[in-house]
């Protein structure tokens, strides 16, 4: 069963580019971590107003960003989180000065933890074009065995 970690950040207006750049340049050691599946940074769509100069909407004084990290299992995430000397922790927000963090964020990030309930496979492009079904016999390892 997949395990998903979501962190929500309220980034003060005017600091969005700096926040995005921080994540773009950050070299995550997650790729080599056992059980790590994927990482994504997304920005809230309602934070934009194309009629405003620069497309920004200062409605609540912040833009919403969210990181989503997918792990194969909860224990993989717990193992990564327990590593206090992780390069990610040394280079991440913990390595930034309190002033830099305070300048970017309106409040501390909010973390939510989820276990997957339903996972739907993305159909193979060829099968979608042909209108066929996914061939489970050709791809027996598509799921990691948590379906049954």
Give residue 6's Cα distance to chain centre: 6
Spell 75-110 as b/e; 16+ CB within 10 A means b: ebbeebeeeeebebeebebeeeeeeeeeebbbeeee
Domains parsed from the chain with CATH numbers: 3-130 (3.30.70.100)
- Res 99: pLDDT: 78
- Res 98: pLDDT: 66
Spell out the long-range contacts of 78-87 with Cβ–Cβ below 8 A and sequence spacing 24 or more.
79/33, 79/34, 79/35, 80/30, 80/33, 80/35, 80/36, 86/29, 87/27, 87/29
Contact 89, 27 (CB under 8 A): no
* pLDDT in single tens digits along all 148 residues of the chain: 799 999 999 999 889 988 988 888 776 678 788 999 999 999 987 666 555 665 555 567 889 999 999 999 999 999 988 886 655 555 555 556 667 877 899 999 999 999 999 888 776 555 555 555 555 555 555 555 554 4
Determine the number of helices (DSSP H) and then strands (DSSP E) in the chain.
Answer: 5, 4
- Res 148: pLDDT: 41
Among the residues of 1-148, which ranges form H helices?
Answer: 16-25, 74-82, 87-91, 98-104, 125-130
- Res 48: pLDDT: 60
């Amino acid at each position: 069963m997949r395990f998903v970690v979501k962190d929500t950040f309220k980034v003060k207006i005017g600091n969005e580019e700096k926040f995005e750049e921080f994540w773009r340049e950050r070299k995550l050691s997650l790729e080599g971590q056992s059980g790590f599946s994927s990482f994504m940074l997304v920005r809230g769509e309602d934070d934009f107003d194309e009629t405003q100069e620069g497309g920004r909407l200062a409605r609540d004084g912040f833009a919403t960003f969210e990181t989503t990290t997918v792990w194969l299992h909860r224990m993989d995430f717990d193992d990564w989180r327990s590593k206090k000397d992780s390069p990610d922790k040394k280079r991440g927000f913990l390595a930034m000065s309190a002033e830099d963090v305070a300048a970017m964020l309106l409040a501390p990030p909010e973390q939510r933890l989820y276990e997957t309930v339903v996972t739907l496979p993305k159909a193979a492009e060829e099968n979608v074009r042909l209108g066929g079904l996914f061939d489970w016999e050709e791809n027996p390892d598509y799921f990691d065995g948590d379906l049954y």
